[in-house]
Amino acid sequence: IASAIAFDVLPLKLHPFSQSTPTGLDCVGWKQHVAFPVIADGALDKMALADDVGSEEDLYEDFRSSTHRYGHPGGGGEQLAINELISDGSVVYAEALWDHVTMDDQELGFKAGDVIEVMDATNKEWWWGRILDSEGWFPASFVRLRVNQDEPMEDYPLKVEGGKNDDFSSGTRRFGMGQTTKDQMRTNVINEIISTERDYIKHLKDICEGYIKQCRKRADMFTEEQLKTIFGNIEDIYRCQKKFVKALEKKFNKDHPHLSEVGSCFLEYQTEFQIYSEYCNNHPNACMELSRLTKVNKYVYFFEACRLLQKMIDISLDGFLLTPVQKICKYPLQLAELLKYTNPQHRDFKDVEAALNAMKNVAQLINERKRRLENIDKIAQWQSSIEDWEGEDVLVRSSELIYSGELTKISHPQAKGQQRMFFLFDHQLVCCKKDLLRRDILYYKSRINMDDMEILDVEDGKDKDFNTSVKNAFKLHCRDTEEVHLFCAKKPEQKQRWLKAFESERRQVQLDQETGFSITEVQKKQAMLNASKQQHTGKPKAITRPYCDFLMRQKHPTLPTALPQQQVFVLAEPKRKPSNFWQNISRLTPFRK
């Protein structure tokens, strides 16, 4: 018969995807593999397959009944080992990959990088843990086990019977390891970095060859645009990571791993790692497209067959595609741990220190780009609320609202000033007029191309060009046409805010050019389409509320049932002052009709 990939209805009784997502405990490092024959491209000899492994149904039933099931880490084996350690009295530590924000008193909140004592790991989705005096449930997918379980926890005293702190030596005795030197701990971290990179390469190869390659053979099921949405630029990531792991292995000292000098590898590839930004930003779209396709059994069977033929572990495709997101967030944690066990006299110390800062910057860049992409939906919603809109969409040239507020505009000498609302985006300034009766309704009036403008500060008094007295004024002067626009603010501090906003706009444009930030046509069209659909439903227009509002409505009397938020990129995100831009917009536009 034809290859199992070239079917419309798979003859096996394949089960639908598990809705679980891989954990931060390095799902790519799991060593178990499916006992399924390798099938080359082309025809499949059904009789040969039946002779070797029995009928197709028997093969699937054997596979399904085996202990190779997805759970926390290792499909159950390592999870069982964790619980055995805990039941034996050992202390097991996990390190947070992402922030876990919760308003539920039964859940344990933490920040990325926090160390958590795992007290119960019987449930594969939610573990029970403790940080200092706080205990609660937390999503297991948000953490990874520490490499050095026996290290001293100076900043994390453990409470034991009698109220005394558990010391380092007693912790090592429970593990039966004895005193571990700093060099040995550095060896542990180096070994983890190398081994997880090798496993990660295998994981990426499986996705590219097990899924993408087979999907491209089925033009009747997938368009190129769909494949781009589902898999993003993961093939580019695969090529980049292959080169990176080769560079790591050259620096790896097999005889004395603690002497390895790997910091320079991260510095060399810090620019290449920025390709993760595109992948992370696209990942929510991939999840939505997969969710849509897997409502059709044909696609469920197809993806499951791809996984079986590639001998991949029992995780759904959306789980596999989450791994690159986890990986780029994990690098700063690994480097921070490596720096902790690297002596200042070590030849690798300065490079590791610089690499840690570099990878934090990469994570920060990814965070910023993700925030910018989230903003385009808000901008599209805002534009859809403006009456009498003319010309191209804001998103054609802009992706960021810099500032907004009221100004008096004077366009011609002797002309009367007009009170208008202005919205400063990157590349353009949009002018709107308030409705005379309903002040929350705005009408589009005009826009100014900021790329052609220079900002001129105007002193209080009579302006010669416009032959009028002004106060708190500034001008926008077009270099090409010599056109001049005069604006007046109500207060001096408002004028200064506008002047600073214009400087920020130019900096933003320059930064986008330097970093190559851009929004694809598909993303722009999708944002406008979503805004249009929302408008036509007749429902109130509202900007999406933060995830914490959702958590506040959840109550988990025992084990939490809500799925934890997976798209969290806050590893190196800088603290920002609260912004009132969108509050101003929501107050001035009919979001609450």
pLDDT tens, position by position, 352-362:
999 999 998 88
Amino acid at the residue 383: Q
**Beta strands 484-488 and 428-434: pairing type?**
unpaired
* Confidence at 495, pLDDT banded by 50, 70, 90: very high
Query: Which CATH number goes with the domain that contains 236?
Result: 1.20.900.10
Q: Are strands 461-463 and 92-96 parallel, antiparallel or unpaired?
A: unpaired
CB-count exposure of residue 544 (10 Å: 0-12, 13-18, 19+)? exposed
Query: Does the pLDDT at position 558 exceed 80?
Result: no
* Per-residue pLDDT band at 581 (split at 50, 70, 90): low
**Mean pLDDT throughout 296-306?**
94
Distance, in Å, from the CA atom of 33 to the CA atom of 157, rounded to the nearest integer, reads 39
Give the per-residue pLDDT at 280.
Answer: 87
Q: What is the mean pLDDT of the chain?
A: 75
Question: Is 390 inside a domain boundary?
Answer: no
pLDDT-based confidence at residue 481 (cuts at 50, 70, 90): confident
* Residue 539 C-alpha from the chain's centroid: 29
In the chain, what are the helix, strand and coil shares in percent, each to the nearest 5? 45, 15, 40
What does the pLDDT read at residue 261? Answer: 92
Q: Three-class SS of residue 562?
A: coil
Exposure class string for 223-248: b at 16+ Cβ within 10 A, else e? eeeeebbbbbbbeebbebbeebbeeb
CA angle 366, 368, 372 (to 5 degrees): 115
What CATH number is associated with residue 83? Answer: 2.30.30.40
Q: Are residues 293 and 186 in the same domain?
A: yes
Residue count of the chain, please give it.
Answer: 593
Judgement on whether residues 106 and 203 belong to the same structural domain of the protein: no
- Same domain as 242, residue 136: no
Between 228 and 134, whose confidence is greater? 228
User: Residues 233, 348: one domain?
Assistant: yes
More confident residue, 450 or 440: 450
End of a domain among 145, 166, 199? 145
409 falls within a domain? yes
Count CA within 13 A, CB hemisphere, residue 430.
26
Mean pLDDT calculated for residue range 118-141: 87
> Tokens 């032959």 belong to which residue?
467
Q: Looking at the predicted structure, is the pLDDT value of residue 214 above 60?
A: yes
Per the domain annotation, does 459 fall within a domain?
yes
Strand boundaries in 395-507, DSSP class E: 401-410, 418-425, 428-434, 442-449, 453-458, 461-463, 468-470, 473-478, 484-488
* Mean per-residue pLDDT, 51-61: 37
**Stronger pLDDT, 46 or 115, i.e. the higher one:** 115
User: What confidence category does residue 488 fall into, taking pLDDT thresholds of 50, 70 and 90?
Assistant: very high
Which of 372-381, 517-526, 568-577 comes out lowest in average pLDDT? 568-577
Q: Which domain holds residue 81?
A: 76-145
pLDDT at 113: 77
Considering the domain architecture, whether residues 121 and 192 belong to the same structural domain is answered as no
Note whether 4 and 60 are within 8 A (CB): no
324 & 218 share domain: yes
Both tokens of 300, joined, read 């469920």
Q: 328 with 291, same domain? A: yes
Query: Which pLDDT score is estimated for 321?
Result: 92
Q: Clarify whether residues 363 and 409 are in a common domain.
A: no
Could you tell me what percent of the chain has a pLDDT over 90? 37
Residue 57 in domain: no
pLDDT of residue 85: 78
Region of poorest pLDDT, from 163-177, 336-350, 401-415: 163-177
Q: Do residues 299 and 293 make contact, with C-beta atoms less than 8 angstroms apart?
A: yes
Domain boundary among 465, 497, 516: 516
Tokens 């940080």 found at: 131
Residues 208 and 279 in one domain: yes
Is 431 within 8 Å of 420 (Cβ atoms)? Answer: yes
Amino acid at 329: C
409 and 461 assigned to the same domain: yes
Q: How far apart are CA 240 and CA 311, in angstroms?
A: 24
Instruction: Answer with the one of 117, 145, 173 that is the final residue of a domain.
Output: 145
Both 114 and 242 in one domain: the answer is no
Percent of the chain exceeding pLDDT 70 equals 69
Region 94-98: what's the mean pLDDT? 81
Tally of structural domains, the chain: 3
- How far apart are the C-alpha atoms of 436 and 260, rounded to whole Å? 71
* Predicted TM-score (pTM) of this structure: 0.53
501 lies in a domain? yes
pLDDT confidence of residue 232: 92
Task: Give the range among 63-77, 82-96, 237-251, 470-484 with minimum mean pLDDT.
Answer: 63-77
485-489 long-range contacts (CB < 8 A, ≥24 apart) are 485/409, 485/410, 485/411, 485/448, 486/409, 486/410, 486/411, 486/458, 487/407, 487/408, 487/409, 487/410, 487/422, 488/407, 488/408, 488/410, 488/417, 489/405, 489/407, 489/408
Strands (E), 451-545: 453-458, 461-463, 468-470, 473-478, 484-488
Residue whose C-alpha is closest to residue 248's, from 296, 177, 208, 197: 197
What residues contact 219, with CB distance under 8 A and at least 6 apart?
none
Q: Model confidence at 11, in pLDDT bands (50, 70, 90)?
A: very low
In a domain, 166, yes or no: no
Q: Nearest-5° angle of CA 113, CA 114, CA 117? A: 135
Q: How many helices (H) and strands (E) does the chain have?
A: 17, 14
User: Band of the pLDDT at 536, cuts 50, 70, 90?
Assistant: low
Report which DSSP code applies to 448.
E
